[in-house]
Chains A and B, each alone.
Chain A
């Protein structure tokens, strides 16, 4: 593994009180932490877990939309959807690379995903059932992702923050593209508008769940805030998303599927109904409609491609031997 010699990435950094205080001082001074800098093991592990999950989310996230590439209803939509899913693959690639700077390989992370040890965003365990889902996923899922990711552009770990800047630019384009699909459907036939409403009904609550458990129930939040890996709490980002999205739904003429949703003038935001956390934990733990199929598809792609990767390595070896012999 090429990164074993990195300071702080080899578990050999001694975490004295002095070292930890100096590290925290750098964080507090808004300095970026770079791969060759010493860092506490906990910081490194948290980032590997988070960036790895983020990368897996991009890759697994290719599947629900990939399900509609061959059925996109016009050539323009087909190109746009294909390019979008390709962007997600690209995001996965930057993110795996960012995680690799912390001393883990893409292969290790992939194996953890396939073994069910590494998580990915639970939203992708919901099925994409109609063309309107391509709109709803762009609008709501990418919209929710942006709320998280804009904050990550200022994350204390340099490679992650820099990867996020490009990712955010592309995600915000995806979000507008998704909204434009919804708008077209809502201005279309009765069936198209029903399709759009149905997609909103199915994706609204899972999108709210994307921000994670309430602040009080979030296992890793406090330390991550202190290390400035995370800048805003789950609930704060969720509120921000709701406040931005409800007027967009109204403009489409769609109904947000929450009877308790109400404008609260005092707080300058919406009050909303309870999130079904039982559903959230059930899906996180593996019992969503699509969990098994999503992971199986990734495993199949990996296993079916093993001979290709082996051949590429074998050929590179032969090439190198030939050059050495000359």
Chain B
């Protein structure tokens, strides 16, 4: 069941992050970003669906993608803590997106060569999306880091706030069909360093890295997100929507 577990980790990452981004819809700093953030959310939730569907098939217990998304509680969610972080301001949102996409892009790149055809198929679509997320979020990090005094301060504050959370990206998921996550760290660090240099951002001193998401140990914010997300499914058990 190593593959099932790894798929759930990834699917939860995508759904939780997509859900967070969807919270921006109608509230972004400009109309163009309402559209862009919605697109990101659509990409991520779309990938989550493919991953849940495949996980359900591997599990073989007749569960659907919606059963997996809507009927597991917070201790069963295996997403990393980074993706559940609240949106914060636009700087936080863009940095969280960049950290995630800079991990997933090389992940899917490597997964293209997977001997599992379903995974290679999902990777084929997702790799292009993640490259675009990296580009769009990266450009914003540069604009904000090298914009006004206020935006630079906010961007640097986001870097400090999210610093405890990025290392968890490289944990979990040992199985043959998927790339080794720890091996992606140099590529991730290179992408982040390049953007930080252009954005005049400082890489903070090491801090204690928070993790536990892969074991279902979350911060308090995930439970609230799920109670929102799962409300109708929980209030009307067995109903079709």
Residues of chain A whose beta carbon lies under 8 Å from any beta carbon of chain B:
59, 62-63, 66, 69-79, 82-83, 85-86, 89-90, 92-93, 96, 131, 184, 187-189, 191-192, 297, 300-302, 304-312, 314-315, 318
Please name all residues of chain A whose beta carbon is closer than 8 Å to the beta carbon of B70 when the two chains form the complex. 73-74
B144 at the binding interface (Cβ < 8 Å): yes
Interface of B is mostly: helix
In the bound complex, do residue A89 and residue B31 qualify as a contact, i.e. CB atoms below 8 Å apart? yes
Checking A70, A74, A314 against B148 with a beta-carbon cut-off of 8 angstroms, the contacting residue is A314
Checking B29, B39, B147, B239 against A305 with a beta-carbon cut-off of 8 angstroms, the contacting residue is B29
B157 at the binding interface (Cβ < 8 Å): no
Q: Tell me which of A89, A90, A300, A306 has the highest count of chain B C-beta atoms within 10 A of its own C-beta.
A: A89
Q: Tell me which of A62, A77, A192, A314 has the highest count of chain B C-beta atoms within 10 A of its own C-beta.
A: A314
> Known: A75-B48, A75-B69. Contact between A66 and B25, CB under 8 A?
yes
In the bound complex, do residue A184 and residue B151 qualify as a contact, i.e. CB atoms below 8 Å apart? no
Please name all residues of chain B whose beta carbon is closer than 8 Å to the beta carbon of A300 when the two chains form the complex. 27
A302–B26 alpha-carbon span in the complex (Å) = 10
- Interface bits B17-34 vs A (CB < 8 Å: 1, else 0): 001001101111111111
26 chain-A/chain-B pairs, Cβ below 8 angstroms = A59-B26, A62-B25, A66-B26, A69-B22, A70-B23, A73-B233, A74-B233, A75-B52, A79-B46, A131-B232, A184-B241, A189-B239, A191-B236, A301-B27, A302-B29, A305-B30, A305-B33, A307-B154, A308-B151, A309-B29, A310-B147, A311-B143, A311-B151, A312-B143, A314-B148, A314-B151
Please name all residues of chain B whose beta carbon is closer than 8 Å to the beta carbon of A308 when the two chains form the complex. 29-30, 33, 90, 144, 151
A41–B127 alpha-carbon span in the complex (Å) = 52
**Distance between B178 CB and nearest chain A CB, rounded to angstroms:** 22
**Distance between A283 CB and nearest chain B CB, rounded to angstroms:** 20
In the bound complex, do residue B35 and residue A70 qualify as a contact, i.e. CB atoms below 8 Å apart? no
Size of B's binding interface in residues, CB under 8 A: 49
A92–B26 alpha-carbon span in the complex (Å) = 11
In the bound complex, do residue A86 and residue B29 qualify as a contact, i.e. CB atoms below 8 Å apart? no
> Known: A79-B42, A188-B239, A188-B240. Contact between A310 and B23, CB under 8 A?
no
In the bound complex, do residue A310 and residue B241 qualify as a contact, i.e. CB atoms below 8 Å apart? no
In the bound complex, do residue A74 and residue B66 qualify as a contact, i.e. CB atoms below 8 Å apart? yes
A184–B240 alpha-carbon span in the complex (Å) = 7
**Distance between A63 CB and nearest chain B CB, rounded to angstroms:** 5
Please name all residues of chain B whose beta carbon is closer than 8 Å to the beta carbon of A63 when the two chains form the complex. 26
In the bound complex, do residue B31 and residue A318 qualify as a contact, i.e. CB atoms below 8 Å apart? no
Please name all residues of chain B whose beta carbon is closer than 8 Å to the beta carbon of A70 when the two chains form the complex. 19, 22-23, 225, 228-229
- Interface bits B142-175 vs A (CB < 8 Å: 1, else 0): 1110111011001000000000000000000000
A150–B240 alpha-carbon span in the complex (Å) = 34
**Distance between B80 CB and nearest chain A CB, rounded to angstroms:** 20
B130 at the binding interface (Cβ < 8 Å): no
**Distance between A223 CB and nearest chain B CB, rounded to angstroms:** 31
B65 at the binding interface (Cβ < 8 Å): yes
A116–B66 alpha-carbon span in the complex (Å) = 42
B41 at the binding interface (Cβ < 8 Å): yes
Please name all residues of chain A whose beta carbon is closer than 8 Å to the beta carbon of B34 when the two chains form the complex. 62, 86, 89
Minimum CB distance partner of A195 in chain B? B236
A76–B49 alpha-carbon span in the complex (Å) = 8
**Distance between A113 CB and nearest chain B CB, rounded to angstroms:** 12
Please name all residues of chain B whose beta carbon is closer than 8 Å to the beta carbon of A191 when the two chains form the complex. 236, 239
**Distance between B15 CB and nearest chain A CB, rounded to angstroms:** 8
In the bound complex, do residue A62 and residue B147 qualify as a contact, i.e. CB atoms below 8 Å apart? no
In the bound complex, do residue A62 and residue B26 qualify as a contact, i.e. CB atoms below 8 Å apart? yes
In the bound complex, do residue B25 and residue A309 qualify as a contact, i.e. CB atoms below 8 Å apart? no
A311–B145 alpha-carbon span in the complex (Å) = 9
Q: Tell me which of B34, B42, B89 has the highest count of chain A C-beta atoms within 10 A of its own C-beta.
A: B34
A18–B232 alpha-carbon span in the complex (Å) = 64
In the bound complex, do residue B31 and residue A314 qualify as a contact, i.e. CB atoms below 8 Å apart? no
B79 at the binding interface (Cβ < 8 Å): no
A189–B41 alpha-carbon span in the complex (Å) = 30
Please name all residues of chain A whose beta carbon is closer than 8 Å to the beta carbon of B144 when the two chains form the complex. 308, 311, 315
Please name all residues of chain A whose beta carbon is closer than 8 Å to the beta carbon of B231 when the two chains form the complex. 71
A89–B33 alpha-carbon span in the complex (Å) = 10
In the bound complex, do residue A301 and residue B26 qualify as a contact, i.e. CB atoms below 8 Å apart? yes
**Distance between B9 CB and nearest chain A CB, rounded to angstroms:** 17
In the bound complex, do residue A131 and residue B241 qualify as a contact, i.e. CB atoms below 8 Å apart? yes
A311–B241 alpha-carbon span in the complex (Å) = 43
In the bound complex, do residue A305 and residue B25 qualify as a contact, i.e. CB atoms below 8 Å apart? no
In the bound complex, do residue A307 and residue B150 qualify as a contact, i.e. CB atoms below 8 Å apart? yes
A314–B48 alpha-carbon span in the complex (Å) = 37
A160–B69 alpha-carbon span in the complex (Å) = 42
